[in-house]
Amino acid sequence: MNKITLIIRREYLTRVRKKSFIIMTLLTPFLFALIFIIPALVMNNQDKDFKKIAVIEDGSDLFTNVIPNTKDTEFDYLSGVKLNDIKNTFASQGYYGVLYISPQIVTTPDAVQLISMKQPPIGLLDHISGSLEKEIEKQKLLAYNIENLDEILRSINTSVRIQTIKMDETGSARETSTGISMALAYIGGFLMYMLVFMFGSMVMRGVIEEKTSRIVEVIISSVKPVQLMMGKIIGVALVGLTQFALWIVLTLALVTVVKTNMLPEGAMEQLQHIPQSFAEADQGMTAMDAPAITDAQLTEFQKIFAGALNQPWGLIILSFVFYFITGYLLYASLFAAIGSAVDNETETQQFMLPVTIPILLGLFVAMGTMQNPESSLSFWFSIIPLTSPIVMMARIPFDVHGWEIALSMGLMLLTIIGTVWMAAKIYRTGILMYGKKSSYKELWKWLTYKG
């Protein structure tokens, strides 16, 4: 067997067999799967749970029938019942909760209480407060004695929902959700940062281990230092790719298993018909129409799913793999050079800083990218090789021109060649150097050694 293959094999196998690797690989898909499964479960549960809420006003009937019933919630307006009468018995009377509206409501916003046994869903709270706010606004407006108020109100009642539609080069429009793009940008950028850092420092620790235990002195009688370094870097990269591939496969498998076994048929059907139903729901929606509000809330979910389905998944995964490999190669070779220059892990600090700064900078710019994906800062950082893996991953969900990706990738490849060459030079000298306090001056000397 070729020597570098031997080295790659060892680096790969020793890491893949580690308990920590197996645990990480198996547990993470559960987290990923939850991200897919929970919304489906939530939607499913929402439909089933019918709630009856008792509404009590203290000495007035100002808000009677103000809060419209929804598909799964019914409001029961009780007059002449005191809060204390029902406070402890509402559950046995079949109520989900008691909504108490005190007379101070017009002046103090805290005057409404919802007493329930369980944590009420956010949608329900929004529905109640929205209805009450509207009514109070209406009452306040009434106090100005404006003529034809009802008509005026009806005519100024507007509802704005922004539908984001992106055009691609072929001219076909794709509906997207900014929320999903942001989430993907965040996950992509952060995952890239984590993986590059995690596997990069794995390489560094490996190099330090070989140096301090003098293994390298034995091994370089058999192989060239550069072979040892590249073997380690490639071996660890394969570990990363294995983990990544297993994550995808296991996540898909888990989602499928849960789909077929745990969710009732309806829930998944609903998810699959999202893109159509979301368009229909949007058209049929009017603001003050009671059932439509629930639809609007549901549509929010559906929109997110529609947005998720419409993401350029192929491009995202392909670029992720590309930027992972190249970003990793870039940083891993820098980390390897650092590892070779020091005698133990505590000494790495002084050299870590210049390597960590671009990574962190990349992460910060990536976070900013979510707010403003087309800013020139984001553009440049997604082109410059040291930060491009992280920032470009954050930009891709928002659609990036093909030439930008090509330029960024091309520059990345060029930079890698330079960096690996440089790292190999430092590594070759550093790995056999002991007890000498390394400094930047020293590193420069190693870099410029001939031969």
Partner 1 sequence: MILFEAKDVTKRFATQTALDGVSISVPEQSIYGLLGPNGAGKTTLIRIINQITAPDSGAIFLNGHPVRPEDVHNIGYLPEERGLYKKMKVGEQALYLAQLKGLSHAEAMRRLKYWFRKLEITGWWDKKVEELSKGMQQKVQFVTTVLHEPKLLIFDEPFTGFDPINVKQIKDEILFLRERGATIIFSTHNMSSVEELCDNISLINKAHTILQGSVEKIRRDWAGDEYDVVFAGEVTPSGNNRYSVVNSSFEGGKSSVHIRAAGTSDINEVIRDMTVAGQVLSFNPALPSMNEIFIRVVETKNKEAAKN
CA distance 131 to 137: 10
Dump the DSSP string for 93-123: TT-SEEEEE-GGGGT-GGGEEEEESS---HH
Q: Single out the residue of 3, 51, 71, 134 in contact with partner 1 (rule: CB under 8 A).
A: 3
Considering beta carbons, is residue 5 or 163 the nearer one to partner 1? Answer: 5
Considering beta carbons, is residue 79 or 213 the nearer one to partner 1? Answer: 213
Q: Single out the residue of 219, 290, 315, 367 in contact with partner 1 (rule: CB under 8 A).
A: 219
CA distance 318 to 308: 17
CA angle, residues 33, 322, 362, in degrees to nearest 5:
85
Considering beta carbons, is residue 212 or 375 the nearer one to partner 1? Answer: 212
Considering beta carbons, is residue 153 or 238 the nearer one to partner 1? Answer: 238
Q: Single out the residue of 79, 159, 164, 222 in contact with partner 1 (rule: CB under 8 A).
A: 222
| Residue 14 interacts with partner 1 (CB under 8 A): yes or no | yes
Q: Among 3-11, 189-197, 246-254, 327-335, which window interacts with partner 1 (CB under 8 A)?
A: 3-11
Smallest distance, Å, CB 267 to partner 1? Answer: 47
Binding to partner 1, residues 405-434 (CB under 8 A): 432
CA angle, residues 103, 73, 60, in degrees to nearest 5:
20
| Residue 6 interacts with partner 1 (CB under 8 A): yes or no | yes
Binding to partner 1, residues 357-376 (CB under 8 A): none
CA distance 430 to 433: 5
Q: Among 6-14, 77-85, 149-157, 294-302, which window interacts with partner 1 (CB under 8 A)?
A: 6-14
| 124 CB neighbour count, 10 Å cutoff | 22
| Residue 436 interacts with partner 1 (CB under 8 A): yes or no | yes
Smallest distance, Å, CB 447 to partner 1? Answer: 17
Smallest distance, Å, CB 360 to partner 1? Answer: 31
| 329 in Cβ contact with 420 (< 8 Å) | yes
Smallest distance, Å, CB 199 to partner 1? Answer: 18
Binding to partner 1, residues 298-317 (CB under 8 A): none
| 391 in Cβ contact with 369 (< 8 Å) | yes
CA distance 274 to 269: 9
Smallest distance, Å, CB 444 to partner 1? Answer: 16
CA distance 51 to 70: 10
Smallest distance, Å, CB 421 to partner 1? Answer: 20
Residues 6+ apart with CB under 8 A from 423: 229, 333, 334, 336, 337
Residue 332, both tokens = 């891993």
Smallest distance, Å, CB 243 to partner 1? Answer: 19
Smallest distance, Å, CB 340 to partner 1? Answer: 14
Residues 6+ apart with CB under 8 A from 370: 182, 185, 186, 394
| Residue 439 interacts with partner 1 (CB under 8 A): yes or no | no
Considering beta carbons, is residue 401 or 445 the nearer one to partner 1? Answer: 445
C-alpha pair distances (Å), 384 with each of 322, 359, 374: 15, 12, 15
| 111 in Cβ contact with 104 (< 8 Å) | yes
Task: Count the residues of the shown chain that bind partner 1, applying the rule CB under 8 A.
Answer: 20
Considering beta carbons, is residue 35 or 215 the nearer one to partner 1? Answer: 215
Considering beta carbons, is residue 163 or 439 the nearer one to partner 1? Answer: 439
DSSP state of 88: T
Binding to partner 1, residues 179-218 (CB under 8 A): 209, 213-218
Q: Single out the residue of 187, 220, 258, 304 in contact with partner 1 (rule: CB under 8 A).
A: 220
| 247 in Cβ contact with 36 (< 8 Å) | no
DSSP state of 266: H
Smallest distance, Å, CB 213 to partner 1? Answer: 6
| Residue 156 interacts with partner 1 (CB under 8 A): yes or no | no
Considering beta carbons, is residue 225 or 362 the nearer one to partner 1? Answer: 225
Smallest distance, Å, CB 167 to partner 1? Answer: 54
Considering beta carbons, is residue 106 or 215 the nearer one to partner 1? Answer: 215
Residues 6+ apart with CB under 8 A from 108: none
Cα dihedral 229, 233, 238, 243 in deg (nearest 10): 140
Contacts to partner 1 by CB under 8 A: 1, 3, 6-7, 10, 14, 209, 213-223, 432, 436
